[in-house]
Structure formats: C-alpha cells, structure tokens
Structure 1
Amino acid sequence: MALDPPAPLELSTAMLQGVEIVGVPIPKDAVLVAGIVTLVALVVLSAFFSSSEIAMFSLPAHRTEALVEDAVPGAKTLKQLKSDPHRLLVTILVGNNLVNIAMSSIATGLLAMYVESQGLAVAIATFGVTAIVLLFGESAPKSYAVENTESWALRISKPLKAAERVLLPLILLFDYLTRVVNKITGGRSAIETSYVTREEIQDIIETGEREGVLDEDEREMLQRTLRFNDTIAKEVMTPRLDMTAVAKESSVEEALETCIQSGHARIPVYEGSLDNVIGVIHIRDLVRDLNYGEALARDMELEDLIEPTLHVPESKNVDDLLTEMRAERLHMVIVIDEFGTTEGLVTMEDLTEEIVGEILEGEEEEPIEYVDDDTVTVKGEVNIEEVNEALDLDLPEGEEFETIAGFIFNRAGRLVEEGETITYDGVEIRVEQVENTRIMKARVVRLETGETEPVDAEEASD
C-alpha cells in the first residue's frame, strides 16, 4: 500500500511559490525584501527632488554668477539649470511625482500579499506612504536644503541634469502643456516672476532694525534708496520762490556779491526773466577771474563765465536725472513745467539728500523737529510722505501738491493765517508761521481715536 506524500512538505512549497511574476514563481520573502529595498531607494529619490527644489530656487542669481566666476565645480551646470526656471521646475515636479506614485503603488502591492482586503491594503499604503514621504521625503530634506542652500545646490546640479536627460520626453511634454495652460488662462508661471519684491525688501529692512542688525539711520537710508526711483524732480527741487539768480547784464562784482549773500556756490543766470535761464555761474570762477584774471575786472563780462545747464521737466525721474547729470558733469539743472516756465532748480546736493537725508549748514533748522511722540513741527516745504513716516500717518498726496503746505491750502481752499487749525482723519495741523502768503512752518499732532471731529480751516479760524 502506497503512502501519501508528507503534508508539511506540500505546505512549505506552496508558501515558497506564493507569487508568480511573468510566469516565474517568486518566494514571497524575496518579493518583500526587493519591495522594501525599492521603497527605500524611492524615498531617497523623493528627498533628492524635494531638496533640489528648495536649493535651486533659494539660491540668488548673483551667487550663481559668483560661483561660476570662481570656477567652483558644478557651478556651470547649476547656472545652466537655473537659466530656464520653468523647465527646471517641471523636471523636479515630474521626477518627484513619478517617485511618489511608484512608492504608493509598490507599497499597495506588497500589502496586498498579506492583507486579505484590497481596500484595507490601499488605505494602509496611502497613509503609510504619506507619513513616510512627509517626514523623510519632504520635511527633513527641505530643512537641510534651507540650511545648506549653496553647497547642496552645487552637489545635486549634475545628478539633476542627469535626471533631466532620463526624463526628457516627459519633461518636454509637460513643459509644453503647462505653457499652453498658462497662455489660455492668461496667467504666468510664478516661477518666472521675481521671488523678491520691493515690499518684501522693505519688510526685511524693518525686520533688520527690530532685530538690531540695522540701526535707525541705516534703515532710513535704505528706505530712501528704495523710494529714490519713484521720485520726480518736482518733489526734490528748490522752488522758484527760493531761487537766487542774477541777470545776464549784471557785473562780475554784483554776481559775486549775490553768491556771498545767498551762501550758494552756484547760481543761475537769466536773460530778461527767470523763465529764460541761460546757464550757471560758479563763485570759484568769479573770484579767480576777478582777482587773478589778465583783464581788469571792469572790462570782464559775466557772460564769459556762464556754464551751460540742462532744462528738465518737473516729471523727470530723479534716478534718470542723476545719471544724466553725472554723464554731463553738471551740478545744477533747471526744472520747467509743461509750458516751459521755470518751476525751480535741482542740484546734486538735492539728489544726494534724497538718499542720505538732509545736509544742514550753519543755523539751518531741521525740516522735521519732534516735540513728542505724537507731535512734530515741520517746514511747509516738507513732503507729505516724510510727515506720514514721522508720525505713522496716512495723509493723502494729491496731483496738485506734494508738501504739507500744499495739503493745508488744499483742505482750506484759501489762504491761511498763523494760528489756524485744520483736522483731518485723526490729525490736527496748526499753522505756526506764515510769510506773506507762504506757509513756512506747521505743527502736526496725531490725535487719539475719537478725540476730535474733523474741522475745516474756516471753522477753526472763527
């Protein structure tokens, strides 16, 4: 009588041949080990692509250029990748998504061999892979890339370039599709826009002062530099009323006396009226030719000492004006309005003061003097923007005025006298000094909310 084969041997064989791949039986243990090794490799790739995104797009362009100039290994490849930021982003996203999807699929397949319910296997794989990716594929590598941006960007540039070659067909396809979608929606890829805006730079400057990295003077200078490009000649000029000029027919002695009395080294020269400025004279030339010239002073004419100048519109950007004055080696230009009438003048000192602040001479008063935390005394010629910054206010600027005196006249609708007061949006402005019809000085007080109701200048003067 024949004996049946041992049952344990049949169970062992069934267990060892539990999975068939392309008709070839593979032991479950081998599949499990291979799957785990593959998942680990995919987690490493996920970390690679995630950290690449942070490192590549956090590295400033000027640092990339500096690395290339210093011939740092990997710098040229890094620059080549960053030259097309849209394609670089597509490369990273395609690689990262392929890796993460593959990870989820493999994890689901492995769990399906040991879990009877397909739904349960999918759920466990989804939440498990998500947790692993967040921790080891996103959070940790991105934190490392933030701390080591430059070195990591150099290190991963060549592997990332290799990944771009391997995934080239997919990258070209999705690069084209995303550009088409952006064109249809009328949008633009955020990666193609500047990562740093003027507002962000402004926030960085203010944060630097709060953290003690910058002192108040440094902060103010940096803020003035940012505002410089948005300033026009009309905002920085010396107005016509304050201009000192001499007629072309004046003698050298008269011109020299005018320079000395005004305290200016350069003054405009006009022919007929101030609306026809023909040039500028320098006190150096007047003194030299008067005392050391070959001709006698009485035989010299002022016209021989006149230097040419520029006439610029009041709307000219001061950044462009500074460039033009430096190129032409001019220290003074005349500002005109749309009708060609002289509005004022701008000197190199005026432009410098827009960045470094007021340069005071002798007994000259500060344009803004603090009385207390909520009160300042300002000259009428001070720009509203400076008053707003001094007291953290929001007084509006109009098309017809930029100064605090212009604001007062605009609110009053007429000439004002000393002692008159106007109130606007929690701000009280009292006229302190008036010369003829011109407001020379005013006191600005920031009121507590609800302290007073808006009052017109006419009511305040009654």
Structure 2
Amino acid sequence: MLTTKLILIVLLIGANAFFVASEFSLVRVRTSRIDQLIAEGNKKAASAKKVITKLDSYLSTTQLGITVISLVLGWLGEPTLRVIFNPLLDKLHVPHTLSHVVTFIISFLIITFFSVVVGELAPKNIAIQKAEDIVLFVAKPLIFFNKLMFPFTWTLNQSSRFVTKALGYDITSDHEITHSEEELRIILSESLKSGEINQSEYKYVNNIFEFDNRIAKEIMVPRTEVVTVDKSDRIEDLIQLAQKEKYTRYPVTDGDKDNIIGVINMKEVLTDYVAAPEVRKDALIDPYINPIIHVIETVPIQGILARMQKDNTHMAVLLDEYGGTAGIITVEDILEEIVGEIRDEFDTDEVPLIQKVGENHYILDAKVLIEDVNDLLAIGISDEEVDTIGGWLLTQKYDLKKGDVVPFQSYEFKVADMEGSHVLYVDVTKKQEVAPQ
C-alpha cells in the first residue's frame, strides 16, 4: 500500500510537470512557426494550431490540472511520508505530540521541494527553451483532457470573464500576441546577440523600419548634381555625354532644369544604333523621350516607390513648394535605403557618404542627413529648415567658403570642398581637450 502511494505521488508530480510545461510552452510558442510546420506537412502541428488558437480555454485546462494535482499531493503526500518517518522518530524516543509536528514539517518540506523543483521550475525552464517541441508533444493530450474537463473549464472561463468585465476590462477569448515597432526592434537586437540572425539581416530589417519614416527629398539627387540633356540635342551629343557620365538614364529638359519633360534610356538608343546603322548620329533624340513622373519633394518614399511600380518607371522628378525642380529620385536611391550602397562597374570612383579617417575624425558628404550626423557623433544638431549637414553649415554662416570652421558642441565642422556656393564635403574632428593648468 505504501509503495502504491509513493508511486502515485511520483506520477502526480510528473503530471504537474506536464501541465506546467504545457502552460509555459503555449504562451511562449510562435504562431508563425506552427503555421510554417503545418505548411511543411508536420502532422502534430495541426493539433498544436488547434490548441494555440483557443489559448484561453487550454490555459484554463492546464491551470485546472495544476490546481487539482497540488490539492491531491497535499492530501496524499503528508500522511504517506508520515508512515515512513514515524518509526524512525519512535526509535529516537521522540514524544508522540512532538513527533506529529516534526513529521508534518518534514513531509511538507519534502513534498514542496519535489513539487516546486521537479513539478514546476524544471519543466518551466525547459518549456521556455523548447516551446515548439513541447507544444507539439502536449497538444493531443491537452485536447483530450480539455474535452474531458470541459464543463469545469467552461465554468471557470465564464466566471473569469465576468470578474474581468466587472473590473472594467474587456478581454476576448481569441487574441493574437502583437508587437509594437519598438518591441520588434528589441526582439531583433536580442536575436542578433543570440546568433539567430546575422548583422546583415539585422541591418536590413532595421532599415525597413526607417524606410517608412523617410521622405523623398532626404534621399534625392539634388538639382545641382542632376545631369540632363535637352530635347534639341542630337544622338551624337547624347552618346558623348554617356561616355563621360556613364549613366543609363538622363532627364530631358525643355530649356532648363525647372522644365523636365521626360527621360531617355540609353539602352533604347544604343540598341537601335547597333541594330540599324542607318540611324544618323545627327538625328534628334526626340523619338526616345519617355514620360517621367513629377511629385512633390515631401512625399514619403514608400508612396513614390508605389507610383514608380504602377507607372513602370525608374526615375521621378521632385518638385519644391514653388513648382521648380528640387532634384530627382531613382529606384536605386530607394533600394539603397534598405540594402545600403549599390555600386556597379562604373562606380569605381564613387566614395562613401561617410568616411572614417581616424578616431573621432570623419569626412562627410554634404548630402548626409543631419539626423545621421547626430547618430554618428552623438550630438544634437537641430534645424527644421534644412535636412543635410551641408545645408546646416550654410545656415550657420551666410558667406561660407572653403576652409571655414563651424564649431558645435564637442566637434568642429570644416568645409573641405565647395563648388560655387554648394558645399561638397565636410571634415569633422573632435575638439582637443585642453588640460587644466
């Protein structure tokens, strides 16, 4: 009889471990991962999906199981262990009234220890680390137990909803765990630290979050750097320009850059020129001019990308608030916001926007955004009128010229190169700390 009770105690602790592991694994497992396993044909995943889609019901089942087992262990454990320890205390001639207290305390501590450690803490830790495997293992037994105990779990759930509503909360039984953008960033960071994703994957996903906050003028090619052709130019002029600039597409103007009427793709021109030698170099480029879209410079880049995809175009003209040309934007400019700089075989002389020369010493392209400079240097430049570091320098000194230095906080910004009144590069160094005398 004693052996039977001891075996029953062990089984009860094991059953408690089962329900504890089930509870934590259900909360921890990712629905997307179970969906993936179903798509791969995993038969156990279908049962797991059924369980996690009715989470409240099955959590009630696990909690009911844990509660009932704890009550039975308390009822069965102390008397069983007392039978073991009483003879030992009798041999030690412990008074009967004291031996009852001693056996109760010893039995309580032993049952509590094994129940907490083996029946709760250990399965909890395992379930947290192996949530997917545990859910697949426990799904079918949980479904069976849920059907068996349905009247009790249904009553408990309805009572719970009544109490939560009385307290002013409205909790539905079917819910999905969602994460805010900041929570997803934290999850990504933790995944990077644990090695689940690599640095490139982390960078791409973070860039996608930033992508939604960017507007077109922040990544455009400014008007001063746009290379154009005029509609009156000849094919010979276009070929000479392409040999020098090595671009695939060129905006076409009708007079000046404020009146861009289309875009020419050099592939079309050269394909016809190679296939039909009779095409004269002195012919006008007019037949090769394709339409180009015009949008305000403050449009979000995800909006302009959608417009480009709809109109099957790779380039758009950005207009300022007065209707003049602010610059152009290409599909490559947009993609680089996600994947980083894209260079082809003609970009060998292209330099990065940010060059690190040494410790606290950088050469910045004047087009680098102020917010990126703030992140890089951990400073707080603030100016709502301009977006780039070159523009900010011009606001600090109206007669800015090459070699001028603008100090800000712990850094000095020196104009490294200019073209007319346009800042090209900025040399940034940290101020030298003067040792106290």
Per the alignment, residue 281 of structure 1 pairs with 264
Per the alignment, residue 43 of structure 2 pairs with 73
- Partner SS, residue 192 of structure 1: coil
Once the two structures are superposed, residues 196-255 of structure 1 have per-residue CA deviations (whole angstroms, 9 ceiling, x without a partner) of 9332244136526xx7984x6676556445533443322222122211223334444444
Is 1:41 matched with 2:11? yes
Once the two structures are superposed, residues 392-450 of structure 1 have per-residue CA deviations (whole angstroms, 9 ceiling, x without a partner) of x244565443322234345x2645333333444433333322332222111223458x7
- Quick one: which of 349, 355, 363 aligns to 2:349? 363
Give, in angstroms, the shift of residue 330 of structure 1.
Answer: 2.4
Which residue identity lines up with residue 132 of structure 1 in the other structure?
A: F
Structure 2: distance between partners of 1:212 and 1:71: 24
- Partner SS, residue 428 of structure 1: strand
Once the two structures are superposed, the pairs formed by residues 122-271 of structure 1 within 5 Å of their partners are 128-175=110-157, 177-178=160-161, 181=164, 184-185=168-169, 192-194=177-179, 197-204=183-190, 206-207=192-193, 214=198, 220-221=203-204, 223-271=206-254
- Quick one: which of 359, 378, 387 aligns to 1:402? 387
- Partner SS, residue 74 of structure 1: helix
Per the alignment, residue 367 of structure 2 pairs with 381
Distance 1:174 1:307, change over 3 A: farther
Distance 1:71 1:205, change over 3 A: closer
CA contact (8 A) 2:185 2:206 kept: no
Unaligned ranges ≥5, structure 1: 1-29, 453-462
Relative contact order (alpha carbons < 8 A, sep ≥ 6): 1 or 2 greater?
2
Which residue identity lines up with residue 49 of structure 1 in the other structure?
A: F
Once the two structures are superposed, the pairs formed by residues 287-436 of structure 1 within 5 Å of their partners are 287-289=270-272, 292-293=275-276, 297=280, 300-319=283-302, 321-322=304-305, 324-326=307-309, 328-337=311-320, 340-360=323-343, 361-388=347-374, 390-391=376-377, 393-396=378-381, 398-409=383-394, 412=396, 414=398, 416-436=400-420
Distance 1:158 1:259, change over 3 A: same
Which residue identity lines up with residue 204 of structure 1 in the other structure?
A: E
Which residue identity lines up with residue 364 of structure 1 in the other structure?
A: E
CA contact (8 A) 2:364 2:427 kept: yes
CA contact (8 A) 2:58 2:142 kept: no
Per the alignment, residue 440 of structure 1 pairs with 424
Structure 2: distance between partners of 1:418 and 1:165: 81
Structure 2: distance between partners of 1:423 and 1:166: 75
Structure 2: distance between partners of 1:128 and 1:89: 28
Structure 2: distance between partners of 1:245 and 1:219: 38
What TM-score does the superposition give when structure 1 sets the normalisation length?
0.73
Once the two structures are superposed, residues 86-105 of structure 1 have per-residue CA deviations (whole angstroms, 9 ceiling, x without a partner) of 44444434433443355445
Which residue identity lines up with residue 349 of structure 1 in the other structure?
A: E
Give, in angstroms, the shift of residue 131 of structure 1.
Answer: 2.9
Once the two structures are superposed, residues 271-293 of structure 1 have per-residue CA deviations (whole angstroms, 9 ceiling, x without a partner) of 45534433211122233445655
Unaligned ranges ≥5, structure 2: 87-95
Structure 2: distance between partners of 1:191 and 1:90: 17
CA contact (8 A) 1:112 1:121 kept: yes
Once the two structures are superposed, residues 132-177 of structure 1 have per-residue CA deviations (whole angstroms, 9 ceiling, x without a partner) of 3331122222333345443332111101122322333444455453
Identical aligned pairs, as a percentage?
A: 24
Distance 1:105 1:275, change over 3 A: farther
CA contact (8 A) 1:73 1:154 kept: no
CA contact (8 A) 2:20 2:124 kept: yes
Structure 2: distance between partners of 1:396 and 1:179: 54
Structure 1: distance between partners of 2:164 and 2:139: 28
- Partner SS, residue 121 of structure 2: helix
Give, in angstroms, the shift of residue 266 of structure 1.
Answer: 0.4
CA contact (8 A) 2:188 2:202 kept: no
Distance 1:294 1:181, change over 3 A: farther
Which residue identity lines up with residue 391 of structure 2 in the other structure?
A: G
Q: Once structures 1 and 2 are overlaid, which stretch shifts more, 156-165 or 336-345? A: 336-345
Structure 2: distance between partners of 1:59 and 1:44: 22
Distance 1:51 1:419, change over 3 A: same
Which residue identity lines up with residue 147 of structure 2 in the other structure?
A: R
What value does the CA root-mean-square deviation take over the aligned residues? 4.2
Give, in angstroms, the shift of residue 67 of structure 1.
Answer: 1.9
Structure 2: distance between partners of 1:75 and 1:40: 30
- Partner SS, residue 433 of structure 1: strand
CA contact (8 A) 2:236 2:282 kept: no
The size of the alignment, in residue pairs, is 416
- Partner SS, residue 416 of structure 1: coil
Which residue identity lines up with residue 286 of structure 1 in the other structure?
A: V
